[in-house]
Chain A
Amino acid sequence: MPSPMALPSPTRRNYSIFKKRSTSSLSSPQTAASYLSALSEADARRFRTQQAVPTETPAISLSSSVTSGSEDSVLHEKDAWSSLEVPLQPPTSEQVFTTVHSEFGHCTNQAYRKTSQYVPGTALNHVALEPSYYIVFTTYISYLILIVLGHVRDFFGKRFYPSSYQHLMEHDGYAPLNSDFDSFYTRRLKQRMNECFGQPVTGVAGRTIMLLDRYSTDYGLTQTFTGTRTRALNISSYNYLGFAAAKGGCADAVEESITRYGVTTGGSRLSGGSSDLHTQTEALVARFLGTEDALLSSMGFATNSAYIPALVGKGCLVISDELNHASIRFGVRLSGANVRMFPHNDMNALEALLREVISQGQPKTHRPWKKILIIVEGLYSMEGTIVDLPRLVELKQKYKFYLWVDEAHSIGALGPNGRGVVDYFGMDPAQIDILMGTFTKSFGAAGGYVAGSKALMDRLRVRGYLGAYSESMSPPVMMQIVSSMASIMGVAPPVLASSSPSTADVYTGPAPHALVPSWLTLDQNWVSSAYGTPDSPVAPLVMFNPGKMNMFHGLMKQYKTPIVTVVVAYPATSLVTSRVRFCVSASHTKDDIDTILRATDEIGDVLDLKHGLRKAERWTIDEVCERAVELVSA
């Protein structure tokens, strides 16, 4: 049954929200406004009815299951399909999937869904168990050996092989090009692990990804392509809702928008580069989040580094969490405001700090601060922890500071309606002064936004220097944002004539938000060096020793189903807690997660990664796979 929200059937191509610019400008806003009002009606209806299980991928009697169709299949012809391209369970004759299995997995088991919502009274973030002493000692000794070896190699290398160290030494009266001290870690530690970093890939970074194989003969300095490609299970991309797909309603809409709007609007927002699509997208983002207005920017990092200086300056105080992202710190440094940090997610320490800074005032003069801005993230991707927002807003009402929440990872991925961390806790978005986020992670687009009250956004439009100096967001990217956001909000994107003949109830693969990965069984029962909260789509697994990073990555790639993972070592994390980070996506099926867990189990036995729980308390991997649903709902 076609949704009442669906736009008229695509046979009448004249009626579309993507009106050409040459037509009169009066009709276009009306169409856009009516589209937006219909959208808000559907949204309100959804909030009112608030079904426990939102609409699922419908069963239509077509016996096809699209398993190929992306351009990758042209690049490599194979006789046998690997398990990554074909689902393990063949589809029934009543299921139709409009996605490619290698981009977005085919799975319709409703038992594997879980609503992402905070249950009051439960512990928000798990406290990680401490590693045992022998692990810590071996880690320190590993780093000591690496550092000593590095210095020895530098010392002798500069004397015996000066040609390879030319960029680090003075010669001919020229200063060294690079400081050898500053680049010590990059040259002596990171270079040893270089096969883990900078992996060239091609194709869609969806459920699977195509790696270009390479090897190194000079210990990581250079890499050579072997010429082959490997399709690997992708647990490393930020693809929380699975919108990274080349086939589907969003991709079609994007292609259409290129035809209608071109690839650029040719200018910065304040000097001629602003189009009606910008206004519509901002209005849609504001509607999605529940704020009055929103402001787009074309680059996620730049959103933080440009709009924080527009809000705070000298004489203001910024209190930021210890583990905030580099873009936030960059913006704060750029602004010239004073900074204090509080221990990660520790609201009691934050309260103590607030009492100290408010009572002491500015340093040396002790005058009151012009404003105090607290910057936190919704979901911390390195830890997998979620900010304690209810307590933070309580503190806000008590101490009257301004609050900036950076929802780069949590928007779309948390909350029963996908509206981010505010939705996850069931709070009112008006309680937070600025909601910032990016479109890179859950929407498959690029760029960022800032959202808040209309007066604030109007002022930031002018005061933030992105408006004057940065390029405006390009139309196809905005179209991807609009179509992905609209499909999360429950409106099917307008299905254009090129797609299948069935009408608008053929949804693109990701049915909305409750498909936040329920298969993220919390590893506490099995391998307990996992950090974070069970509701987070990011699960870091701590490995402590630097040598295990390389081995883990390599062994995962050589597993019978190749799996590509992200390893993060010092100095991106603290010294002893090097980790591997699993970013689970809605495009993964339970079989994929089982594969990953089995691989981690096998490799964990080889590399001695299982610590914390005694052997007797642990579950076996088969138990974990079978009792997954029970684990998640517990």
Chain B
Amino acid sequence: LKPRGRSGSIVKVEQIGDRLEEVLDRSAYVNINADWVNAKGAWLIHVVLICVGKLIIDTIPGMTQQVSWTLVNLIYLALTYLMFHWVTGIPFENDLHGGAYDDLTLWEQIDDGAQYTPAKKWLLGVPIALFLASTHYTNYNPWLFAVNISALVFVLIPKLPQLHRRRVRFIHDYASGVATPVTP
């Protein structure tokens, strides 16, 4: 039974995805949408793609190292945020898992929701390493530093275990406490 949400709050932190049927459905299948992060080469591909991205951005005429590293940092953070923390659900095989993952982002699906796993540690470490590299190459310019660090903090917040399966909602009203599905 989902508890009725308080209506009219400006900010609300809501726990999702812990109904019994969903839990049972999730434990019946290996989630291959999220399994690949533990496969061979899934960690190094981040490094490869960052290098390739940097090379491409460097080819833009008039690009300085400072702007280039900042751009690489921001684009990487934006794309990984989109992939791991924005998109929810599994884009295939719905009759097999019956929508049990529809509310969960890819981050929450990794390793069946276990925290402090090696894959999650790596995925936490790469943005931080990239941030450090970008601050080094921007020579600690305060404006670029501010941009980089706020982007980093913004991306690190949903990776915290305290926010696992929790959503922060701003002025979100539900009709009589029952949520309508938000995935399109």
Report how far A133 CA is from B41 CA in the complex, Å. 6
B91 touches A575 (CB 8 A): no
A574 touches B89 (CB 8 A): no
* 0/1 string, B21-42, CB within 8 A of A gives 1: 0001101111011011001111
Report how far A186 CA is from B92 CA in the complex, Å. 7
Instruction: Report which residue of B36, B89, B92, B94 has the largest number of chain A beta carbons within 10 angstroms of its beta carbon.
Output: B92
B175 at the interface (CB under 8 A from A): no
Distance of A12 from chain B, by nearest CB (Å):
54
A333 at the interface (CB under 8 A from B): yes
A482 at the interface (CB under 8 A from B): no
Q: Which partner residue on chain A sits nearest B99 by CB separation? A: A182
Also in contact, A182 and B48, with CB within 8 A (given A130-B40, A332-B28): no
A570 at the interface (CB under 8 A from B): yes
Report how far A182 CA is from B89 CA in the complex, Å. 8
Also in contact, A181 and B27, with CB within 8 A (given A137-B48, A576-B36): no
Also in contact, A140 and B28, with CB within 8 A (given A181-B184, A575-B39): no
* 0/1 string, A181-215, CB within 8 A of B gives 1: 11111100000000000000000000000000000
Report how far A362 CA is from B60 CA in the complex, Å. 60
Also in contact, A181 and B91, with CB within 8 A (given A326-B96, A329-B96, A341-B30): yes
Number of A-B contacts (CB under 8 A): 79
Distance of A338 from chain B, by nearest CB (Å):
7
A340 touches B27 (CB 8 A): yes
* 0/1 string, A320-337, CB within 8 A of B gives 1: 101100100110110010
B183 at the interface (CB under 8 A from A): yes
Q: Which residues of A contact B39 (CB under 8 A)?
A: 136, 574-576
Also in contact, A339 and B27, with CB within 8 A (given A140-B41, A329-B96, A571-B92): yes
B98 at the interface (CB under 8 A from A): yes
* 0/1 string, B87-117, CB within 8 A of A gives 1: 1010111101010000000000000000000
Distance of A180 from chain B, by nearest CB (Å):
7
Q: Which residues of A contact B29 (CB under 8 A)?
A: 329
Report how far A322 CA is from B91 CA in the complex, Å. 21
Residues A149-191 near B (CB distance < 8 A): 176, 179-186
Distance of B37 from chain A, by nearest CB (Å):
10
B28 touches A333 (CB 8 A): yes
A547 at the interface (CB under 8 A from B): no
B41 touches A336 (CB 8 A): no
Q: Which partner residue on chain A sits nearest B25 by CB separation? A: A333
B32 touches A575 (CB 8 A): yes
Q: Which residues of A contact B87 (CB under 8 A)?
A: 181
B11 at the interface (CB under 8 A from A): no
Distance of B121 from chain A, by nearest CB (Å):
20
Report how far A1 CA is from B60 CA in the complex, Å. 87
Q: Which residues of B contact A336 (CB under 8 A)?
A: 24
A612 at the interface (CB under 8 A from B): no
* 0/1 string, B49-69, CB within 8 A of A gives 1: 100000000000000000000
B45 at the interface (CB under 8 A from A): yes
Report how far A333 CA is from B184 CA in the complex, Å. 25
Report how far A183 CA is from B89 CA in the complex, Å. 12
Q: Which partner residue on chain A sits nearest B52 by CB separation? A: A141
B30 touches A322 (CB 8 A): yes
Instruction: Report which residue of B28, B32, B89 has the largest number of chain A beta carbons within 10 angstroms of its beta carbon.
Output: B28
Q: Which partner residue on chain A sits nearest B41 by CB separation? A: A136
Distance of B183 from chain A, by nearest CB (Å):
6
B24 touches A571 (CB 8 A): no
Distance of A404 from chain B, by nearest CB (Å):
15
Q: Which of A130, A144, A185, A338 contacts B27 (CB 8 A)?
A: A338
Q: Which partner residue on chain A sits nearest B91 by CB separation? A: A184
Distance of A151 from chain B, by nearest CB (Å):
10
Q: Which residues of B contact A329 (CB under 8 A)?
A: 28-29, 96
Also in contact, A140 and B45, with CB within 8 A (given A182-B89, A333-B25, A336-B24): yes
Report how far A285 CA is from B39 CA in the complex, Å. 42
How many residues of chain B are within 8 Å of chain A by beta carbon? 28
B1 at the interface (CB under 8 A from A): no
A185 touches B92 (CB 8 A): yes
A10 at the interface (CB under 8 A from B): no
Distance of A184 from chain B, by nearest CB (Å):
4
Distance of B99 from chain A, by nearest CB (Å):
9
Report how far A332 CA is from B21 CA in the complex, Å. 12
Report how far A184 CA is from B94 CA in the complex, Å. 11
Q: Which residues of A contact B25 (CB under 8 A)?
A: 333
Q: Which residues of B contact A339 (CB under 8 A)?
A: 24, 27-28
Q: Which residues of B contact A575 (CB under 8 A)?
A: 32, 35-36, 39
* 0/1 string, A574-617, CB within 8 A of B gives 1: 11100000000000000000000000000000000000000000
Q: Which of A333, A341, A570 contacts B32 (CB 8 A)?
A: A570
A338 touches B24 (CB 8 A): yes
Q: Which partner residue on chain A sits nearest B48 by CB separation? A: A137
Q: Which residues of B contact A186 (CB under 8 A)?
A: 92
Q: Which residues of A contact B96 (CB under 8 A)?
A: 326, 329-330
A131 at the interface (CB under 8 A from B): yes
Report how far A326 CA is from B25 CA in the complex, Å. 12
B44 at the interface (CB under 8 A from A): yes
Also in contact, A133 and B184, with CB within 8 A (given A182-B92, A184-B91, A185-B92): no
Also in contact, A184 and B27, with CB within 8 A (given A133-B41, A574-B35): no
Distance of A153 from chain B, by nearest CB (Å):
14
Distance of B83 from chain A, by nearest CB (Å):
9
A136 touches B40 (CB 8 A): yes
Q: Which residues of B contact A183 (CB under 8 A)?
A: 91
Distance of B82 from chain A, by nearest CB (Å):
10
Q: Which residues of B contact A130 (CB under 8 A)?
A: 40
Distance of B173 from chain A, by nearest CB (Å):
20
Also in contact, A181 and B32, with CB within 8 A (given A137-B48, A140-B41, A140-B45): no
Report how far A137 CA is from B40 CA in the complex, Å. 9
Distance of B97 from chain A, by nearest CB (Å):
9
* 0/1 string, B66-90, CB within 8 A of A gives 1: 0000000000000000000001010
Q: Which residues of B contact A338 (CB under 8 A)?
A: 24, 27
A574 touches B91 (CB 8 A): no
Distance of A168 from chain B, by nearest CB (Å):
9
Report how far A405 CA is from B44 CA in the complex, Å. 39
Also in contact, A137 and B44, with CB within 8 A (given A181-B91, A575-B36): yes
Report how far A208 CA is from B92 CA in the complex, Å. 33
Q: List 16 A-B contacts (CB under 8 A).
A: A130-B40, A136-B39, A137-B41, A141-B49, A182-B89, A182-B91, A184-B91, A339-B28, A340-B27, A341-B27, A341-B28, A571-B33, A574-B32, A574-B35, A575-B39, A576-B39
Given A136-B39, A181-B184: 5 more A-B contacts, CB < 8 Å: A141-B45, A141-B49, A574-B32, A575-B32, A575-B36
Residues of B within 8 A of A (CB): 24-25, 27-30, 32-33, 35-36, 39-42, 44-45, 48-49, 87, 89, 91-94, 96, 98, 183-184
Q: Which 9 A-B pairs have the closest CB atoms?
A: A136-B41, A185-B92, A575-B36, A184-B91, A339-B27, A571-B92, A329-B28, A140-B45, A339-B28
